[in-house]
Amino acid sequence: MQIFWEIIRAEAAAGLNITETVTLPIQPHPGATVLVTAALQRVNQTGENGQAEVGISAYDQDGKSNEGNWPVVEGENITRVVSYLRVASAQATATVVTFVYD
């Protein structure tokens, strides 16, 4: 099993919104399953009603690009994942973890 992770940080002053993204290229070996998940680690409000959201917005599988919004992506032949951290009146940190296993 292989494990990779990326940390995403975003900060938006009171009344502002910002989205940070990270693109993860993945090179699984033939027959390997890839599982990617994203989780918030910390959220601090910088203004009233501060919020944060993390997820996966796109991934490539079998040469086909898929776009949407997922908390977890799992399957074979996944070669790229795009994760996001969106904050509004907040500063936040999220971790994106990738597992590659047989």
- State the residue range of the domain holding 46: 2-101
Q: What is the pLDDT of residues 19-75, one digit of tens each?
A: 999 999 999 888 899 999 999 999 999 999 999 999 999 999 999 999 999 999 999
Structure confidence at residue 49 (pLDDT)? 95
Looking at residue 84, what is its pLDDT?
98
- Give the pLDDT score at 21: 97
What CATH number is attached to the domain comprising 15? 2.60.120
pTM value surpassing 0.75: yes
Q: How confident is the model at residue 11 (pLDDT cuts 50, 70, 90)?
A: very high
pLDDT for residue 23:
97
Nearest to 8 by CA among 87, 89, 61: 87
Q: Domain tally for the chain?
A: 1
